[in-house]
Chains A and B, each alone.
Chain A
Amino acid sequence: MTEPVDQGGSAQPTPVAAPAVVTRRPAEARVAAARAAANAAGPAGASRRTVPASSVPPGPAGGVREGASQPTAAAVAPSSVDPGLASDRAQVKEHNRRLIGRVARRGRAAASSATQATAAVASSAAQTAQQAGGQVTGAARDLARHAPTGADLAAGARDPAGPAVQAARAAGGATSAVASRVAGATSQRAAQVRDRVTPDVDLQALAEEVRGVPGVVRLAADAAGTAAAALPGRVRGVSLDDDELEVHVVADYGTHLPALLADVLGVVRRYSAGRTPVAVVADVIVPDQAPDAASQARDEEGGPVSPGPSTPAA
């Protein structure tokens, strides 16, 4: 930015400022004359105003003014104003005018240099852009030139990677085989679950009928989980799969368990729809412990049916 400004400042002012200089030359000459007069009038510029007003005799000052042939000073001089003061005013005016001219010149020069600078910046930017474009295209060209080499490299790398690729392919095949097997098992399992969710056996009716068997306290969902009741439509203590229909019961203590199992198994068989019926006594409820309950149970052990005064404890 600094360089164009300097160029503009040095190159431009000469044609633009020439008329200003031409027009202003008489004024400068006048100012120079006034300065010479002032110097002749007083040694110090600072005391210029006081010195002519008080101690300088009017004779030489007036002579100088005449010699400088200043119209304003001459016009002012005949009036009552002090001639030294009038010359000072003229000097001040001239100085102001000169200052204004200088400022204007500088402003013009600054403006022109600014435009030049803008132009220079624009041109340099354009140049830079062009250069950059050229470089980019050059780089692209280089890349295009190098691209075949990269492809060759890749082709070269493919050969040593051949066994790895084959191994990966084999592993992928094994994985897919396992995955398909797992998927098959999963779908089978899903089918089983679906069958369980919508069983073809009326499990509620089965459960009701099993509960009605003498000696059965309740159905048991035992710890083995074979009689789980988690799925919808399931009954606690009844387990159904493709092969078996299994019922777990809790019996009263003292019940003849083989007879009870035979009864339960008969009920299950009627509901099993071709499956193998399974009946399990999972637990017995002992009425209130103690010898008397046991003896009571012993009294009842002849018959398979035990009257249910026993309180089924959990």
Chain B
Amino acid sequence: MAARSSEVAPAQEPGSDLVTQDGRTSIADVVVAKIAGIAAREVAGVHQLGGGASRALGGLRERLPGVGSQSPSTGVRVEVGQVQAAVDINLVVEYGVPIVGLADEVRASVIERVEDLTGLEVTEVNISVDDVYLDDGGDTDDESPPAR
């Protein structure tokens, strides 16, 4: 994500762990994006993160030796303010999972994780379901290659 970092002003949010007597602390965007991405992937029913382009690139990357799989921040876009953050997530759901309930779960997971680890208040989590994954072979999700 962008190298832009959010400045967390001291003593603005009474309950925040980021409050400091003097000095400044900040958390980079990519940190929030990675945390949100990991939190979203942990929810059962989420097959993959990322839109069409990033998934195509991710599929390409998985075939290249030594490059590794997707970055944890793939499919996640964040806007980080001083004490608040907004998260946008693109994901692919598995077929058969109720999407509305899944979205609520993802939203809750992301909010909980980001607020817990970074001390930022998550104001909104916008979820976009880009695709549905059909598990044809009946194998486990992680071992079967993405069908699309």
Contact = CB atoms under 8 A, between A and B. Distances in A.
What class of interface size applies to chain A in its complex with B? 35 or more
B28 A295 contact: no
B147 interface: no
Task: Determine the main DSSP class of B at the interface with A.
Answer: mixed
Contact of A280 (B5, B20, B72, B117): B5
A119 B23 CA distance: 106
Interface residues of B, number: 29
B117 A257 contact: yes
Given A269-B23, A276-B22, A289-B72, A253 B17 contact: no
B24 interface: yes
A298 B31 contact: no
Contacts, number: 96
Interface string B1-28: 0010100000000001110101111111
Interface string B80-123: 00000000000000000000000000000000010011110000
Contacts of A276: 22-24
B38 interface: yes
A265 B119 CA distance: 15
Interface in B29-59: 30-31, 34-35, 38-39, 41-42
B16 A258 contact: yes
A269 B22 CA distance: 9
A108 interface: no
Contact of B30 (A258, A283, A289, A295): A283
Contacts of A213: none
Given A279-B25, A284-B31, A255 B117 contact: yes
A9 interface: no
B76 to A, nearest CB: 13
Specify which of A222, A251, A259, A289 lies most central, judged by the most chain B CB atoms within 10 Å of its CB: A289
A223 interface: yes
A301 interface: yes
Interface string A284-314: 1010011100110110010000000000000
Contacts of A77: none
A268 B23 contact: yes
Nearest to A291: B42
Specify which of B16, B27, B118 lies most central, judged by the most chain A CB atoms within 10 Å of its CB: B27
A256 B117 contact: yes
Interface of A: 222-224, 251, 253-259, 261-262, 264-265, 268-269, 272, 276-284, 286, 289-291, 294-295, 297-298, 301
